[in-house]
Amino acid sequence: MELNTAKPRKMLRFVVLSLLFLLGLCHFSAGMNMMKSNFIVHMAKSQMPESFEDHTHWYDSSLRSVSGSAEMLYVYNNAVHGFAARLTAEEAESLQNQPGILSVLPEMKYELHTTRTPSFLGLDVSADYFPESNAMGDVIVGVLDTGVWPESKSFDDTGFGPIPASWKGECESGTNFTSKNCNRKLIGARYFAKGYESTLGPIDVSKESKSPRDDDGHGTHTSTTATGSVVQGASLLGYASGNARGMATHARVAVYKVCWVGGCFSSDILAALDKAIDDNVNVLSLSLGGGNSDYYRDSVAIGAFAAMEKGILVSCSAGNAGPSPYSLSNVAPWITTVGAGTLDRDFPAYVSLGNGKNFSGVSLYKGASSLSKMLPFVYAGNASNMTNGNLCMSGTLIPEEVKGKIVLCDRGINPRVQKGSVVKAAGGAGMVLANTAANGDELIADAHLIPATSVGQTTGEAIKNYLTSNPNPTATILFEGTKVGIKPSPVVAAFSSRGPNSITQEILKPDIIAPGVNILAGWTGAAGPTGLAEDDRRVEFNIISGTSMSCPHVSGLAALLKGAHPDWSPAAIRSALMTTAYTVYKKGGALQDVVTGKPSTPFDHGAGHVDPVAALNPGLVYDLKADDYLNFLCALNYTSIQINSVARRPFSCATNKKFRVADLNYPSFAVVFPEQMTASSGSGSSSIKHTRTLTNVGPAGTYKVNVIKPSNSVKVVVEPETLAFTRMNEQKSYTVTFTAPSMPSTENVYARIEWSDGKHVVSSPVAISWT
């Protein structure tokens, strides 16, 4: 009888393979545990053991208790209390359990939110309203971005006095940058790259400068928008020619380079905020953002809180994820969140078709190869073998199908200017760039490398109909230069991120909008206006768009208000900008949204479009102190540890007090009715009460309230209806009761609450919604 050994052998093979697989898993798991990444460690500084003489020694000891090899990237003293270090997941978890550790948060990557405006804002004819240059010379604006091109004429310090005695910053040296690059205008320059390098490796100095020098252009553009000196005869390739100037021409500027080719990392951003606070800046401008997190996990929000406590206004871009709802960045209530609107200036470039029809577009193209005759016209989707050929991505076009022709490309995925470069590389003679539904009819001008124009979705569809219906389509592009006086303006930009606020819906964001479309400002000498590697043109000024551009407008205007009112808090300055903003055009009609062509809402424009001349004398302001924000965190049911992470000190929510988000003294109202609240109300309606306090910053006066409410579906009652102020800094409180029917509304309701003494109008937007 022969034994059947096949089955035992198979079993043995299975066991061996299983053991090898498990060993492999263990090896993989161990490898995963050994992988290191950056973490930001928040410490309860007040809990430092007495055995340590200095908090840095305690931080180091805590780190050594979990890792003998980890090194600190940064030690934070102002923006947060703690440090950044590179750790394994296991080490981070172990550190979290150590005494005195509030939280251990993983590094986050942030992205940038990427002339005529002073005149558009009324600054050219209203200089007498603003403080003398010697007062403005004491105001310092700190800009966290890609660095600075110090040779820009916008940093000319002619006429500037000595650097303010309050300034404690430095001008750091590095690749292609020395302390001599700073002057009495550009008084500080630092760079922060430890988080970036520990994650992505050493900076390649052949591609970007390991120094404050700006090789990208974005940082120079934002810093000169905020504070640039007057430069005569400025333009981009002849477009938008005139005098270029920032919002606060006499303010000083300090740059903090935190963004590199691979992005902006939270450990570097926190280190820059830490230094900027210590350097004694008065305003901070951050045109960057990342994913939204709870405030105690958001590095920018935490650093901004520390800055606010030191009297520094922090202005941040709202993001470029519009027009989708809930798309905002930087929504903490102690941050001024800025959306984008258009100017009354345009750069028309018309598409003339073979059938005699003309369609308007925009372009900043300037070159010898301007089109002078009708050329064959082709849709990119029909000149490609790729499913995404319509997008004109690299390598997707068939040269034989586009050579010598104008090509219609659809917007999306790759940069707009890169599409023109792809058409050029394939032999095309020109490009028409058509918006899709994602961008509607919003037009953004670009300095293309090829004769090109951008058209809206509606125009794009009409042109495509011509291409499909005509056997031999032809076209040409006519460039018309610069046009001003465009109406209506401003309108809310399509890309500008929209509310509601995804973290705290009861806080209305954005706060305000400012010019952010086709903005002329200083540029780097290291890159062309498109930023493409193949663009060898060099310009002193560039025209670009984004909430990155609107943010420094507000930062500069905040500097103007700080110069005029040095004793005002960040909250008072923001209140002045918000309560004097406008939502109606001078000749009537509500502010429009470019996406819909209809009136925009507070979820689009916040309080409205900034009006700096009116903001200088607001009459009344809604002021806030640090503890008011901490009480707000109590209303969100934050734990003491979570509040400590933001406040950098122990803070306990009083057990005998009821905390409500509706009591935060914010200059706007976001009223949220829970559906179950309205549906379960026995009285057939439900009410929510908000409390506010106004501070008089003007002459004595009696203010009467007016509620502007297009819809009667929600009742709004303000008590009292009159507030009498007899002296400067006097405070008066009022309540607003919002009453809604038991059946939830399917649409949001918008209103405005205005207080006026006949000279001032203190206006607050109201957004009412159901969840």
CB 192 within 8 A of CB 73: no
Candidates 508, 504, 738, 487; CA nearest to 605 is: 508
Strand runs labelled E in 238-346: 239-244, 252-257, 259-260, 263-265, 283-286, 288-289, 313-317, 336-341, 345-346
What φ, ψ does residue 454 adopt, rounded to 5°?
Answer: -105, 135
CB 275 within 8 A of CB 307: no
CA distance 710 to 751: 7
Take residue 530 and report the two structure tokens written for it: 């498109």
Quickly count: other Cβ atoms within 10 Å of residue 467's Cβ. 17
Instruction: Work out the widest C-alpha separation in the chain, in whole angstroms.
Output: 115
Q: Report CA dihedral (386, 388, 393, 395) to the nearest 10 degrees.
A: -10
CA distance 38 to 539: 38
CA distance 222 to 224: 6
CA distance 378 to 380: 6
CA distance 398 to 428: 10
Which amino acid would we find at residue 273?
L
Nearest-5° Cα angle at 210, 207 to 215 = 50
CA distance 675 to 743: 8
Burial of 262 (0-12, 13-18, 19+ CB in 10 A): middle
Read off the DSSP letter of residue 695: E
Burial of 658 (0-12, 13-18, 19+ CB in 10 A): exposed
CA distance 55 to 78: 13
Helix then strand then coil, in percent of the chain rounded to 5, is 25, 30, 45
Instruction: Tell me the sheet residues that pair with 512.
Output: 338
CA distance 157 to 730: 40
Which amino acid would we find at residue 693?
T
The DSSP line for 445-467 is ----SSSEEEE-HHHHHHHHHHH
Question: Alpha helix (H) ranges present in 65-126?
Answer: 89-96, 117-120
Mind telling me the catalytic residues?
Answer: 145, 218, 548
CB 451 within 8 A of CB 429: yes
Quickly count: other Cβ atoms within 10 Å of residue 99's Cβ. 11
> What Å distances lie between residue 389 and 63, 351, 423, 427, 518, CA to CA?
53, 22, 11, 15, 28
Element (H, E) at 200: helix 194-200
